[in-house]
Structure 1
Amino acid sequence: MKKISCLLVICCVYFLANAQTTAYIRINQLGYPLKGIKVAVLGSTNAEVFKHFTLMDAVTKQPVFEGSTGSSFGKYGPFTNTYRLDFSFYKKRGKYYLQAGNAISPTFNINDNVYNGTADFCLRYMRQQRSGFNPFLKDSCHTHDGYTLYAPVPDSTHIDVVGGWHDASDYLQYSTTSANATYHLLAAYHDFPTVFGDEKSANGLDEKNNIADVLDEAKWGLDWLMKMHPKADWLFNQLGDDRDHRGMRIPKEDTNFYGKGLERPVYFCSGLPQQRGKFVNNTTGAASTAGKFSSAFALGSSIFYTINKNYADSLDERAITAFSLGLRKPGACQTASVVSPYIYAEDNWVDDMELAGAANFAHDVITYERTKNEESYVAHSKPDTVYMNIAYKYALQEPITPWLGADTARHYQWYPFINPGHYELAKALHDKRRDTLIQFYKEGIDRVWRKAKQNAFYRGIPFIWCSNNLTVSFAIQCYWYRQLSYDTTYQQVEQACFDWIFGCNPWGTSMVYGLPSWGDAPTDPHSAFTHLKNYPIDGGLVDGPVYTSIYKNLIGIQLYNEDEYAPFQSDLAVYHDDYGDYSTNEPTMDGTASLIYLLAAEQAQANSK
């Protein structure tokens, strides 16, 4: 009888252990604000059906709320049954976990401080990406850049373009991503100034300088963009090319890949297709780059006016000349590749010129308001509506960012991944045109929502390369729409995108290195810093999951370690926390900058409730 009892106990333990591994609860590991939307996702790998879930106090181990799972959304990725667990009703501070059957979630916090400091945390990655003087390494790199290609001077003419940020885990530098990143950092400060602290000096080292660290970082970007737009009719699009990919190394140990000593090539925005090696891009103009430059310069000039007026005036001058270049050379400027077919294949440009027009108009309004009470105010006429009118004409040419609602797109084909111009322009307008722009945002969001509402994760973002960047950008568009319209229809899908980034996804992992420090987050990204030196890349947003069909057809993919997320890979999409997977686990500078804006917005919202 005793043997039978022991056998029964063993069988029960075995059964419970296996039962626990068939259902999983995915949460936002950062936590949830008191009055915010609080939703987790329950996924089961078998046909198990759930009816209820319980919110448990992690300290007392007592239930504090019980809710209905609702109907199953059915299969998604590795899961056979999926449910949305909504506990938004519960608004008491504390530490909790969720339980449904034998599935138990990680512990999480509910309070209004859960997002505090996260935007500043992600600035660590931006500083680590600096070229020129790198504060993380406390050393300099790429100090010989660069030599010109396609410029109106002989090829190989030296020009000083030292500075800026490395684009990702390679050390290429692109004007488009850098200008977009700079704009997002400036906008984050402009829209949420109280969120950011001051712990660093302008060079990124530890020393307060009475300037928010996010502005120090934005200025690092602006300084480089000014070097890439050194004359009124000169604009450069790219520093280095894919010959960089011949080896992983720490940037201060960079080697000669280009045949010009330690100089790297800097590609001029000619507005025409460019060929290096056997590959030709499909460049049709320069406006996509020029518009991004102009908007960053205009917003930067508005913000830095009270900090350094001479600097602000220089930015203002370049905002105007870059906008003029965009008007003269309409079309999209793509990057150049030499040894591989992968480029930033941007096809749109009117969105960039719309934002540039809106940003320059906003700058003129701010300048007028600042100077109208000064003795010289008579010299400052009221803001001309020319910029506004031009911007609106561009808005009508691309009302909806084309990837929204689509299943696929080429790499960076529609960039930036949302249109900030609609938001900036709508804030300046007070007539029917404002309503039109808001409707453009609504239609774009609705295209995604029609797909997203069919699955428990509310996932309507295509699993293309840099899917996390698209996810962050889409959440920002939802936020901007809500600010303009006061319509909360899409707040659930907005929150679902934010939650996805921090663990409410099939893999149950955050997509940001080191955030949160206590959770499941990337530890083995495609980065020389971590792979060669075990340096942390705190705050870096990795590319994110891709369609399995894409992953299987990429060049040079090789996993180095056993896949800890193997049970959660599917025919739909894969994600690997593995150095060898450059498609899903490589951090990007521009994606991180966009995330900084979103985190600032989330912190500001939570703190205001």
Structure 2
Amino acid sequence: MNKNWLLILIFLIPVIAGFATEQPGAWIRINQLGYPTGGVKVAVWCSKQKDQVTGFQLVNVLDRKVVFAASAGKPFGAYGPFQETYRLDFSTFRKKGRYYIQAKEARSPEFEIGDDVYKGAADFCLRYMRQQRTGFNPYLKDSCHTQDGYVLYGAKAGIQDSTFIDVVGGWHDASDYLQYSTTSANATWHLLAAYRDFPGIFKDTLHANGLKGKNGKADILDEAKWGLDWLLKMHPKEGWMFNQIADDRDHISMRMPAQDSQYGRGLQRPVYFINGEPQQRGKFLNNTTGTSSTAAKFSSAFSLGAQLFYKDKPFSKLLAIKANTAYQYALQKPGVTQTVSVRSPYIYAEDNWVDDMELAAAFQNNTKEALSYARQEPVTPWLGKDTARHYQWYPFINLGHYELGKRLKGPERDTITGYYKKGIEAVWELAASNAFYRGIPFIWCSNNLTTSFAIQCHWYRQLTGDLHFQQLEQANIDWLFGCNPWGTSMIYGLPAKGDTPSDPHSAFTHIGHYPIDGGLVDGPVYTSIYKGLIGISLHDPDEYELFQSDLAVYHDDYGDYSTNEPTMDGTASLIYLLAAKEAESRVQALKKK
């Protein structure tokens, strides 16, 4: 070889290697699921340098032609790992197709604009709910937790400790196998409400047991009934109600669900009675003050179930009776019921209950009482705040305001919708200064809060017709599907070809190598929270290392239970939100015809 060529080659090798490892300096974050033709369409340009962008172009994937161009607008400054950010708004462009955005050297992933971008998404997320079933699990085609369980704290009702009671059924709460009445009742309510509000969205492809075949009933109703059947077992008669199955001894190891035997009674697990008194929390007691928060959630789920299963008269009548007895149980000792932990300090530390009573009273057609509860907590306390304890204000938004608002007219209705508006404005005050319109605190399960807040924005818009917060509403939805600093969807497998979680904190994936389709993971947490959690260590190199910051972290890693563990109740809320978005897209498509 010529010596000159050899010298050139030696010189080029490190240069080529440098190009191969060099990271881009700017990125464009999008909603990977896509954008409805008539909806808000915004992407976020973000740079690791203090750079500027003046405009952007929307490019058709098929012919690489620019179909839309606009100013990038004002800079929003630093956020998280980025030194500069811009919101790229292309809402006025409404032509269906597949596109990408170009701004300077940065290019977005490809995405769809169309009226079907949300089609089937809600049904897809139902897969995760079915996978979390206990008793017969259609995903595994096997049964688990068939010997639950033995009673604790039932003395007030005359139940001796260790008495067996059949409470088999329901859903696992997350990737562990605990079962909580408060999250299960809330999830059941959201599934029922999704069918009530958007019945045309859901298909019938399965039998009630979750196996393939049709049974003349939408799959979401089958899933909701699965929840109702378990809640009936957890409230078997007047004066009896149970709060949870199992406790954090579950966390001793990861295993498939049929292998729980760490409670000292074979395969039986403890079932905690709701007595309205503090119960064990490791070395401490929880801060339970009453029966209302959980019992009222039971009552609301039973009431809505009685309405929707009206064709099954015996079942509907039973649910109506249970709605009344659960409501009376909620009145037994006004206050909150918190969950129990034995080994660690982590519980669902719920601190509010009047919101649950408002929803239950609305379904009891007791408008005066519901209004009284509404006035006691007009705004869910975490809205506009930068932190809260784990599940402190649950179910994250006031569901009762929506149910009550639909029933009212005139000044009383305006008062209730005004409560929603005040909470949204509090979040907007935090969100308006950053390009992602992020005003949700990065606490544990931040994605659940994000989903619920988007639902509150949707309900406010439906009740009032006020479009002022539509961009904020959509920003929270976009966040879940990739318009966030990490550029990843937070829902396993959705969209199918997108950047979505692949290594969640789940025995199903880690041990069984099964997908957990549709599961909503916890989401980013403050870096300060992450550093203080017990037992977290990453198993693989962090593919999002470039986008971690002193503000917040997210890891697609089995070892991070704080950001990458899917939750059943968060997924149920997401199903409602996705059904709402698909229904809205259908309405917009019909208007164009």
Interval of TM-score (by shorter of Structure 1 and Structure 2): over 0.9
Distance in 2 (alpha carbons) for counterparts of 1:578 and 1:598: 26
Matched AA of 1:348? N
Deviations 1:416-443 (A, max 9, x none): 0001100000100113211100000000
1:167 aligns to 2:173 (yes or no)? yes
Aligned-partner SS, 1:533: coil
Residue pair 1:358, 1:391 contacting (<8 A) in 2 also: yes
Distance in 2 (alpha carbons) for counterparts of 1:479 and 1:10: 56
Matched AA of 1:491? Q
2:34 to 31, 35, 52: 31
2:577 to 598, 603, 609: 598
Using the TM superposition, give the Cα deviation of residue 328 of structure 1 relative to its aligned residue in structure 2, in angstroms.
1.9
Matched AA of 1:170? D
Which aligned pairs between 1:325-336 and structure 2 lie closer than 5 A?
325-336=329-340
Structure-1-length-normalised TM-score: 0.93
Using the TM superposition, give the Cα deviation of residue 70 of structure 1 relative to its aligned residue in structure 2, in angstroms.
1.0
Task: Describe the shift of the 1:492–1:12 C-alpha distance in structure 2 as closer, same or farther (beyond 3 A).
Answer: farther
1:158 aligns to 2:164 (yes or no)? yes
Matched AA of 2:239? D
Task: Describe the shift of the 1:98–1:276 C-alpha distance in structure 2 as closer, same or farther (beyond 3 A).
Answer: closer
Partner of 1:211: 217
Using the TM superposition, give the Cα deviation of residue 325 of structure 1 relative to its aligned residue in structure 2, in angstroms.
1.1
Partner of 2:454: 475
Distance in 1 (alpha carbons) for counterparts of 2:22 and 2:70: 21
Structure-2-length-normalised TM-score: 0.96
Aligned-partner SS, 2:532: coil
Residue pair 2:383, 2:424 contacting (<8 A) in 1 also: yes
Partner of 2:591: none
Partner of 1:187: 193
Aligned-partner SS, 1:42: strand
Task: Describe the shift of the 1:64–1:279 C-alpha distance in structure 2 as closer, same or farther (beyond 3 A).
Answer: same
Question: Which stretch shows the higher mean deviation, 340-349 or 10-19?
Answer: 10-19
Partner of 1:578: 557
Task: Describe the shift of the 1:18–1:88 C-alpha distance in structure 2 as closer, same or farther (beyond 3 A).
Answer: farther
1:274 to 268, 274, 279: 279
Unaligned runs of 5+ in 2: 589-593
Partner of 1:43: 46
Residue pair 2:380, 2:397 contacting (<8 A) in 1 also: yes
Matched AA of 1:300? G
Task: Describe the shift of the 1:421–1:258 C-alpha distance in structure 2 as closer, same or farther (beyond 3 A).
Answer: same
Task: Describe the shift of the 1:259–1:316 C-alpha distance in structure 2 as closer, same or farther (beyond 3 A).
Answer: same
Task: Describe the shift of the 1:3–1:284 C-alpha distance in structure 2 as closer, same or farther (beyond 3 A).
Answer: same
Residue pair 1:39, 1:84 contacting (<8 A) in 2 also: yes
Deviations 1:466-504 (A, max 9, x none): 000000000000000000010001000100000000000
Distance in 1 (alpha carbons) for counterparts of 2:15 and 2:75: 28
Distance in 1 (alpha carbons) for counterparts of 2:230 and 2:404: 27
Using the TM superposition, give the Cα deviation of residue 14 of structure 1 relative to its aligned residue in structure 2, in angstroms.
8.5
Deviations 1:526-571 (A, max 9, x none): 0000000110000000000000000000000000000000000000
1:228 aligns to 2:231 (yes or no)? no
Matched AA of 1:112? D
Residue pair 1:147, 1:265 contacting (<8 A) in 2 also: yes
Matched AA of 1:176? T
Residue pair 1:357, 1:388 contacting (<8 A) in 2 also: yes
1:129 aligns to 2:129 (yes or no)? no
2:498 to 519, 528, 543: 519
Partner of 1:90: 93
Partner of 1:375: none
Which aligned pairs between 1:94-493 and structure 2 lie closer than 5 A?
94-151=97-154, 152=157, 153-252=159-258, 254-275=259-280, 277-306=282-311, 308-361=312-365, 387-493=366-472
Residue pair 2:56, 2:70 contacting (<8 A) in 1 also: yes
Residue pair 1:255, 1:262 contacting (<8 A) in 2 also: yes
Using the TM superposition, give the Cα deviation of residue 239 of structure 1 relative to its aligned residue in structure 2, in angstroms.
0.5
Using the TM superposition, give the Cα deviation of residue 309 of structure 1 relative to its aligned residue in structure 2, in angstroms.
1.0
Deviations 1:4-52 (A, max 9, x none): 9999999998898788710000000000011110000000001221101
Unaligned runs of 5+ in 1: 362-386
Residue pair 1:292, 1:352 contacting (<8 A) in 2 also: yes
Residue pair 2:446, 2:525 contacting (<8 A) in 1 also: yes
1:56 aligns to 2:35 (yes or no)? no
Distance in 2 (alpha carbons) for counterparts of 1:9 and 1:106: 31
Matched AA of 1:324? Q
Aligned-partner SS, 2:511: helix
Distance in 1 (alpha carbons) for counterparts of 2:19 and 2:512: 42
How many residues align? The count is: 582
Using the TM superposition, give the Cα deviation of residue 3 of structure 1 relative to its aligned residue in structure 2, in angstroms.
11
Question: Which stretch shows the higher mean deviation, 120-129 or 425-434?
Answer: 425-434
Distance in 2 (alpha carbons) for counterparts of 1:303 and 1:97: 43
Deviations 1:106-148 (A, max 9, x none): 0000000010000000000000000000000000000000110
Deviations 1:242-270 (A, max 9, x none): 01111111112x13111111111110110
Deviations 1:394-421 (A, max 9, x none): 0000000000001100100000000110
Residue pair 1:20, 1:102 contacting (<8 A) in 2 also: no
Residue pair 2:281, 2:344 contacting (<8 A) in 1 also: no
Residue pair 2:76, 2:434 contacting (<8 A) in 1 also: yes
2:547 to 558, 561, 568: 568
Deviations 1:563-601 (A, max 9, x none): 000000000000000000000000000000000000000
Distance in 1 (alpha carbons) for counterparts of 2:410 and 2:549: 49
Residue pair 1:545, 1:574 contacting (<8 A) in 2 also: yes
Distance in 2 (alpha carbons) for counterparts of 1:66 and 1:5: 43
Deviations 1:203-232 (A, max 9, x none): 011011010000000000000000000111
Residue pair 2:282, 2:344 contacting (<8 A) in 1 also: no
Aligned-partner SS, 1:552: helix
Residue pair 1:184, 1:597 contacting (<8 A) in 2 also: yes
Partner of 2:79: 76
Using the TM superposition, give the Cα deviation of residue 279 of structure 1 relative to its aligned residue in structure 2, in angstroms.
2.5
Distance in 1 (alpha carbons) for counterparts of 2:14 and 2:344: 56
Residue pair 2:522, 2:563 contacting (<8 A) in 1 also: yes
Matched AA of 2:263? Y
Partner of 2:475: 496
Matched AA of 1:281? N
Aligned-residue CA RMSD in angstroms? 1.8
Residue pair 2:291, 2:336 contacting (<8 A) in 1 also: yes
Residue pair 2:145, 2:260 contacting (<8 A) in 1 also: no
Residue pair 2:525, 2:554 contacting (<8 A) in 1 also: yes
Matched AA of 2:470? Q
| Percent identity between the two aligned chains | 66
